[in-house]
């Protein structure tokens, strides 16, 4: 099977197995071709939707009014596909949010240009239909995360990170919309995440192999140790670039520290330690663990209250060996056990 045939198969599955579109569904594709991956996705989507009622718009080549008219005149329960080298900006609209508030389905591929051309096959692999596995895994993990108050993460050379706290309600990204009124997702998918109800109950060390830079591209490097005490990063032996990130977070956060918040479990088996994507939001779905640094977390923002300025949410990607939720091991030698 050629790369294009493989991609078309994955997009077909997204349309028909994740979104369950029928023959009467109207599809609007808004795209650009500013990078190789965006062009490949746009071309392949156009082949896949040609048998449906549809419209395509090359975003950079038209006036904003053309896009606005196309969006506001959509039939009920349409599907809108956004293929973006960066992120489309309109004066009056946040496209994805406005679309699902209007009752439309949304498939979004954003910031594609931040991935290297050498990673195109990795991105294609990350789109493979794996929702039944995501549902199975997140269902099991959600139960464990809600019933236990201890996590133990073993990584590197005898590094241990322990979380001794109840956890917030886990949030899942599986591509299963059967019980969700909002049928929208940013691809790639495959993740469950939570955070400690008591943010100061995170202590120990973890091995990190990647983190986003200020240019919003992931810097991959030899794994290094990050030490965490009372929920904040206190030291590391990583590159100077990582230290620059920490200093910027600490300088602008109200507590003058680097808080650990999100505890993320990626499940996407198409990407990983040796199959990277440089766009951080896409790569956080890799089959492994990540944590967020900084006080900002949109999903758990109310915890800290409006008076606490929450600016930074920067993910760090960890190379973990063994993970236990309570007494149950969910990862062994870097692989999930279910």
Which residues, in sequence order, are bridge partners of residue 229?
232
Count of domains observed in the chain: 2
- Contact yes or no for 198/300 (Cβ under 8 A): no
Measure the CA–CA gap between 182 and 172, rounded to whole angstroms: 13
Q: Closest by alpha carbon to 228, among 305, 162, 138, 276?
A: 162
- The reply to whether 119 falls in a domain is no
- Secondary structure (DSSP) of 30-68: EE--SSHHHHHHHHHHHHHHTTSSEEEEEGGGS-HHHHH
DSSP state of 197: S
Task: Mark which of 114, 147, 167 sits at the end of a domain.
Answer: 114
Residues 297 and 156 in one domain: yes
Instruction: Note whether residue 21 is domain-resident.
Output: yes
pLDDT in tens, 289-331: 999 999 888 778 777 777 777 788 999 999 999 999 999 999 9
120 within domain boundaries: no
* Regions of the chain short of the pLDDT cut 50: none
Q: Are 169 and 208 members of one domain? A: yes
| Residue 93: per-residue pLDDT | 65
Distance CA 77, CA 138 (A): 28
Query: Which sign does the torsion angle of CA 244, 249, 252, 256 carry?
Result: negative
List the CATH number of the domain containing 72: 3.40.50.2300
Q: Is residue 221 domain-shared with residue 311, that is, in the same domain?
A: yes
101 and 215, same domain (yes or no): no
CA distances from 97 to 86, 203, 240 (A): 16, 37, 37
**Same domain for 187 and 327:** yes
Range of the domain at 194: 131-336
Residue 122 lies in a domain: no
300 and 203, same domain (yes or no): yes
Q: Which regions of the chain does DSSP assign to beta strands (E)?
A: 27-31, 54-58, 79-83, 105-109, 150-155, 159-164, 171-173, 184-186, 191-194, 202-212, 218-229, 232-236, 260-266, 288-293, 314-318, 320-325, 328-332, 335-336
Residue 121 lies in a domain: no
Residue 34 covered by a domain: yes
Encode 312-335: b = buried (16+ Cβ within 10 Å), e = exposed: bbbbbbbbbbbbbbeeeebbeebe
Q: Quote the pLDDT of residue 254.
A: 82
- The answer to whether residue 107 is domain-embedded is yes
Does some domain include residue 286?
yes
**Burial class (CB within 10 angstroms; exposed 0-12, middle 13-18, buried 19+) of 217:** middle
Same domain, 68 and 182: no
Instruction: Supply 49's token pair.
Output: 């939707």
Token pair for 133: 């596995």
């Amino acid at each position: 099977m050629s790369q294009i045939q493989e991609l078309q198969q994955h997009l077909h599955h997204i349309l028909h197995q994740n979104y369950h579109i029928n023959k009467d569904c109207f599809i609007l594709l808004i795209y650009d071709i500013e990078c190789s991956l965006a062009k490949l996705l746009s071309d392949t989507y156009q082949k896949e939707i040609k048998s449906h009622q549809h419209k395509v718009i090359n975003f950079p080549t038209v006036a904003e009014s053309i896009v606005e008219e196309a969006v506001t005149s959509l039939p009920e329960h349409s599907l809108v596909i956004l293929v973006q080298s960066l992120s489309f900006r309109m004066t009056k609209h946040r496209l994805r949010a406005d679309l699902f508030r209007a009752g439309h389905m949304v498939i979004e591929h954003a910031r594609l240009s931040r991935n290297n051309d050498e990673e195109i096959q990795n991105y294609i692999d990350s789109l493979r239909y794996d929702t039944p596995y995501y549902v199975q895994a997140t269902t099991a993990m959600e139960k464990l995360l809600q019933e236990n108050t201890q996590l133990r993460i073993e990584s590197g050379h005898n590094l241990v990170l322990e979380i001794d706290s109840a956890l917030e309600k886990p949030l899942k990204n599986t591509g299963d919309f059967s019980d969700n009124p909002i049928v929208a997702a940013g691809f790639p998918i495959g993740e469950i995440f939570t955070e400690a109800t008591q943010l100061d109950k995170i202590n120990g060390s973890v091995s990190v192999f990647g983190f986003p830079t200020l240019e919003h591209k992931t810097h991959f490097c030899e794994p290094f140790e990050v030490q965490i005490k009372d929920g904040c990063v206190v030291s590391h032996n990583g590159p100077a670039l990582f230290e620059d990130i920490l200093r910027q977070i600490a300088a602008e956060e109200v507590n003058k520290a680097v808080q650990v918040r999100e505890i993320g479990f990626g499940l996407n088996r198409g990407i990983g330690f040796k199959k990277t994507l440089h766009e951080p939001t896409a790569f956080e779905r890799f089959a492994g663990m990540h944590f967020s640094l900084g006080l900002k977390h949109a999903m758990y923002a109310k915890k800290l209250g409006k008076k606490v300025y929450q600016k930074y949410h920067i993910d760090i990607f960890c190379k973990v060996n063994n993970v236990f939720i309570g007494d149950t091991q969910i990862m062994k030698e870097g692989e999930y056990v279910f």
